[in-house]
Structure 1
């Protein structure tokens, strides 16, 4: 499916203007929307390609710049030490309340977007996997796709490093799919087990997939990219989204 990939919207949020990048089918109609949260580097070319792929399956994909309070609109950090250090610093500098208010702003905007059919999901990788999970705490989110979500098991997202994501799983009303790399040093086995036990206790509707892979195995730049696993995971995601909306 042919898509538009150069549309942006600067949304008002409680913490300032937030640029969002929009990918959507060219064909006229109304579509379910996916709020897609990036990794710590913001909207890089690999993130754009992944967003385009999902949009090409028949979805509106909106990618917010998660560090809009700290970086100028359009800034993407580099996949190098400087970019990694900056991204990790901001991940813990930004308050969780600001991440949450960003999500609410996108949800409210999507209710007015003329191409949206009012069905909303979330998706994310790395930091974005955690943000997609937190987005699911909102009742408007029907489906959440979480790839190797960081800082969920140790509750250290945001300023003060004391988030409440694990404690709020009972607020999740939609379905969630989790995908992990077994060799990911950021989310060890014990951490994954802690998350799964909390999901069971909260009676969340979820899917759980683990593969022999490193962190960031979806990113199509760098040595950790696994093209075959990317294809497998995209099949899981598209089937999950079709079943959820």
Structure 2
């Protein structure tokens, strides 16, 4: 984890300096900018391991920055913002953010959150490489290629963020099993994550918009009332190929 590249995008220089100080103290390599357009360019050129992204920026806001980065990268993006309303949090996650922290925050807590994301990402990659080599999940109208990390709905490939892909794989590998909200959040975000299940619910909503024929009446990711979610398939309509 030491040496991981972190891109900090914030127009408050004192915040950027504080984050940089704490991140570098833990061995991270920090790059920063206060400009949205520059952030997109740096994300492409630097290929950072994680991005810390404010919403209020020069030229274009953080929502649009995230939306554009998501067309070229699935790097984990953590929004850091003084906007704490649910609508802002939901919007940030809906455009492709993986997590959200509100200002003011403890720098040490931010570092812990970053480490949790990077650690979880590393574990998931190792698990995919070790246990899911050449594995493809096929369902009626939906194909999930685990080693290629691609998803096709019919003939069309759909782009998923890292957390969206991990959620879909976790659910699809245990079809018809009901997952509690807290359990599913812990499985994907990790035991040491410090978010809440609103993050999970927004990601589920995003997934439905991308893979369901009718997101308002889902056939794959269905709600289990009083429990959480499950990946729903009829007998004989799904299989795994190696």
TM-score, structure 2 length as denominator? Answer: 0.30
Larger radius of gyration: 2
Q: Which has the higher strand share?
A: 1
TM-score, structure 1 length as denominator? Answer: 0.30
Q: Which has the higher helix share?
A: 2
